[in-house]
Amino acid sequence: MPTIPILMPQLGESIAEATLVRVLVEPGALVEAGADIFEVETNKASMAVGSPCAGRIVQVTGKVQTSYAVGSNLATFEISDEDALALGFSESETAVTAPAVTAPKATESLHFHFSEEDNITSYQPKVEPVVGGLPVPAGATGASYISPRMRARMTELGLNASDLAGIAGTGAGGRVTVEDFESFLRSLEQHRLTPASSMRIAVADSMRRSWSRPLATVGSPVMLDALLAHRRKTDPKAGPALYAIRALAIALAENTAVAGRLVGNRIVHPQAIDIGFAVEVEDGVLVPVLREVDKTPLVKLVPAYNKLVEQARARRLPHDPKHPGIATVTNFGTFGIVWATPIPLPEQNLVLGLGAGSKVPHWSDEVNQFIPVTEAELTLSFDHRTLDGGGAGRLLARVAKLLQEPEKL
């Protein structure tokens, strides 16, 4: 009777590997069609690998708690001639081979395993069927999986996964092969290349690390007439961003959990309400920090804020041994931007944004007609692991209310 391999199946378009969690049958066991043989686990779910037909388990080559790539040989299965033909295996094919492709040995599919075949050659791999003519799709969404050997090569060249986002892998499950990588590097030489500044590299690295989390943004309009009137009659005058910094600090002091960071299964609350603010500099952004903003009245924050802005623009910020702030405020309205989705810094989970103000009609119940008011969009980007839409909306509403009561700041 013919024998065929039982291979690690394609468990999803973006799945390139899975971990063998349990072996549900013993060698020599007779199984029915559809019976569960293995239990495997991906980074998304656990599922069972079933028998394609009735047959007998000859040998189990997969090892429990080991990760295997799609198409790896997990077991040898003995089936009838009729079932072999139905699955697409011809009579001339010998044991443990699948149509059009030789199944790799289990040990050859283990990550971190090296062999002579790892060397780069002129051969350009193509996506081949892994079982019975069922193709493994090659994703066009970029580097969905990067092997340890690839990562070592990237580290050697000072590259990261974000730099490879434009590569469509030709390996199993969209895997980016070394050949794909080397071809990508060769193609770069055909373009104009200029060095990036150290500031640009620092900002890029920060944003790349930030985007490893599930981020979301909510927004709401806020009327600024009370804020602008308060600003005209006070001295020294605070800018709209400083009003927002103070309002956010008061709101966070009322509930420090929303500014906490999720580490493992615990929320780490901040020890102080220190708020940073974004300052544009040449080819990047700096974020100086105001300390204990919740305990400092607005009028006393103005000199410290103005000094930090000047130092940041001159790239002369003093060394601050304390930790970065727990949140950041960015006034993107200064660039004429109405609405945006800023990204929190890696060590923070909140960033409050203030858009450009404009005159809009607002219905007044007092005079029973529309009146012109100055309105701007207020946005809050947050780490969705620690804050949900409802909590973010309530925090944003509290900040908006405080901005309309500037005398309390």
Residue 129 counted as domain residue: no
Question: Residue 10 maps to which CATH number?
Answer: 2.40.50.100
| Residue 92 structural domain | 3-116
For residue 73, the model assigns a pLDDT of 86
For residue 113, the model assigns a pLDDT of 43
Residue 140 counted as domain residue: no
Q: Of 66, 99, 116, which residue constitutes the final position of a domain?
A: 116
For residue 119, the model assigns a pLDDT of 46
Q: Of 116, 147, 164, which residue constitutes the final position of a domain?
A: 116
Residue 235 sits in the same domain as residue 383: yes
Residue 128 counted as domain residue: no
Kindly report the CA angle at 37 between 31 and 43, in degrees rounded to 5?
165
Continuous segment of H or E residues that includes residue 251: helix 240-254
Residue 107 counted as domain residue: yes
For residue 106, the model assigns a pLDDT of 42
Q: How many domains does the chain have?
A: 2
Q: Of 116, 145, 177, which residue constitutes the final position of a domain?
A: 116
* Overall size of the chain counted in residues: 409
Per-residue pLDDT of the chain (409 residues; tens, 9 = 90+): 788 888 888 765 556 778 888 899 999 999 998 888 888 876 545 678 888 888 999 999 888 888 888 888 888 888 888 888 777 765 554 444 443 334 444 444 444 444 455 444 444 333 333 333 333 333 334 455 667 777 787 788 778 777 777 676 777 666 777 788 888 888 888 888 888 777 787 788 888 888 888 899 999 999 999 999 999 999 889 999 999 999 999 999 998 888 888 888 888 888 899 999 999 888 788 889 999 999 999 999 999 999 999 988 887 777 665 667 899 999 999 999 999 999 998 888 899 999 999 999 998 888 899 999 999 999 999 999 888 999 999 999 999 999 999 998 8
Residue 360 sits in the same domain as residue 231: yes
For residue 124, the model assigns a pLDDT of 38
Residue 380 sits in the same domain as residue 232: yes
For residue 159, the model assigns a pLDDT of 80
Residue 182 counted as domain residue: no
Residue 60 counted as domain residue: yes
Helices 240-254 and 298-313: crossing angle, nearest 10°? 120
Residue 384 sits in the same domain as residue 263: yes
Question: Which are the contacts of 172, defined by CB distance < 8 A and separation ≥ 6?
Answer: 10, 16, 69, 70, 71, 127, 130, 136
Amino acid identity for residue 201 in this structure: I
Residue 249 counted as domain residue: yes
Residue 381 sits in the same domain as residue 238: yes
Residue 398 sits in the same domain as residue 283: yes
Tokens of 15: 């799945």
For residue 12, the model assigns a pLDDT of 58
The answer to whether residues 271 and 259 touch, using CB atoms and an 8 Å cutoff, is no
Residue 111 sits in the same domain as residue 232: no
Residue 214 sits in the same domain as residue 339: yes
Q: What whole-number distance in Å separates Cα of residue 204 and Cα of residue 214? A: 18
Residue 144 counted as domain residue: no
Q: What whole-number distance in Å separates Cα of residue 301 and Cα of residue 294? A: 10
Question: Residue 301 maps to which CATH number?
Answer: 3.30.559.10
Residue 248 sits in the same domain as residue 387: yes
Residue 76 sits in the same domain as residue 217: no
